[in-house]
Amino acid sequence: MNAAHVDPRFREAYASFTGDYHSGTLSAERWDAWDAERLRTVVRHVRDNSPFYRRHLAAADVDGLTPRSLEHLPYTTKDDLRRELLDVLCAPVSEALVYYETTGTTGASTPCPRDAKDVFTSDLHVEEACRRLFTARYGDRLPMIGLMGPSELYAFGDTFGEVAQRLGAAHVKIWPESPRVGFEKALRLMHQLQVEVVVGAPALCLGLAKAARHYGYDLRRDFKVDLFLVLGEICTPAFARNVASLWGADTLPILYGSQEALAIATGCAEGRLHLSRPNYLPEVIDPATGRSLGRTGEGELVLTMLVDGIKPLIRYRTGDHVRLSDERCACGRPGPLVAVTGRVADHVTVGGRRLRPAELEEALLDGVRGCLGYQIVVDPGPDGTDRVTVRLELLPDHQDDAAAVAAATAQRLLDRCGVRASVEPTADLDPVTHTGAFVSWKAARFQDNRAEPDHEVRAARQAAARHLLPS
């Protein structure tokens, strides 16, 4: 549908290139030509049409620019986007196809309109990923899909709704956090419509399970859900195994992206994320120094967008800590593999050790079953050391011994992360833990009593009220 609004010459060239990309037949020479031509096109586009980039890239040698000399250009930061707002755009908002914006939980909301070219080139990769994944899992038939997004100002519902329609898959948009829907109605629709695939944030897998028990449902008997496709926050293998212990359903990442940078990477049946490489030149940088580490490795992800839409970004610091590799995936799909280990700002220091969210979650949940949520609480100890308490909400009828689970969890945290912690099973976990995708992992899962709450923590507290179930 949206492709009809795209210039036919670009549409045909892009479809041809990405068709060969998905079939794995692109030569190194074609890649070099694509990257060089698209990079110069986009940089000229932003310098000619974006007031911000006209100033930001005033000294850039566009004619001599190559992917190898890209690191000589300045970074674009989130602070730039918050400060410049509409001046980042290459056209008036009235020329966009659709308008979105960021939540504003970490600063001012920034406009993220998309034109037809943006939508076409971004959604194509999501469609290809979903088609392959559903074929690998369901064969010739298509599942009933429930879409559960965080906000109507997000691209989530439009993107997956459009993709489901292109594939011919029945779907329903259910926003459990919406005051006009709520968890009770969302669960009723999941039950009545026999939803098989739920697309939403990882925290939603646990929030739905807790709400379902509250409203008297049996997770395995009353629902047909056998797959959660997650996006919006980290989801470690240990978290996925825990979800399976609750629902009997697999959990796979389907999309890594943002309002600003669109669909950066898409998931596969092997549970891995593949960069939408025709749309981006990726870099990995040292987040502390800003030094470029090349196109693979571990560090902060930086993206230069290769599609000259309404808001392409040049050397955009995503703020996400990733591992980027050229390893081949068993699923057969091309593209560098992206493993997201958390936001750079979500790294925490406990007992003098700096740890990433994924490290803590994997150590905490590995081997744990029937967990409806977790929270790490750090208090200042009387002797100047950190006093760490981990709270686990386990199913009341959990078959494993709660004391043994707590002891094993404490030992794993010590062995893998060097963190000494007291682990407490609880039936009354803070509802802020279900807000991860809306704010951040750190605000949702890590309560740091060593400092005053920051604006993210306050935003998460406000959002948590939506997750409160009636007593």
Q: What is the CATH number of the domain that holds 337?
A: 3.40.50.12780
Sign of the torsion formed by the C-alpha atoms of 150, 154, 159 and 164: positive
Residues 328 and 451 in one domain: no
d(CA 58, CA 71): 15
Residues 247 and 374 in one domain: no
pLDDT, position 44:
96
Residues 267 and 404 in one domain: no
Residues 323 and 366 in one domain: no
Residues 241 and 385 in one domain: no
Q: Kindly report the CATH number assigned to the domain that includes residue 380.
A: 3.30.300.30
What is the number of structural domains in the chain?
A: 2
Residues 329 and 302 in one domain: yes
Residues 150 and 53 in one domain: yes
Domain end among 345, 374, 390: 345
Domain end among 295, 315, 345: 345
Residues 326 and 339 in one domain: yes
Residues 275 and 371 in one domain: no
- Residue (of 171, 174, 160, 155) closest to 129 by Cα position: 160
Helices assigned H by DSSP within 57-201: 78-84, 116-138, 156-167, 182-192
Residues 374 and 456 in one domain: yes
pLDDT, position 150:
67
Residues 212 and 89 in one domain: yes
Residues 334 and 354 in one domain: no
* Token couple for 66: 């190559």
Domain end among 279, 314, 345: 345
For the entire predicted model, the pTM comes to 0.94
d(CA 408, CA 420): 12
- Give the pLDDT means over successive 10-residue stretches in the chain (471 positions): 76 95 94 96 97 96 92 96 97 96 78 96 97 97 92 83 96 89 95 98 93 95 97 92 97 96 97 97 96 95 98 97 95 94 92 92 95 94 90 85 94 94 91 78 91 83 67 52
Domain that holds residue 335: 1-345
pLDDT, position 236:
95
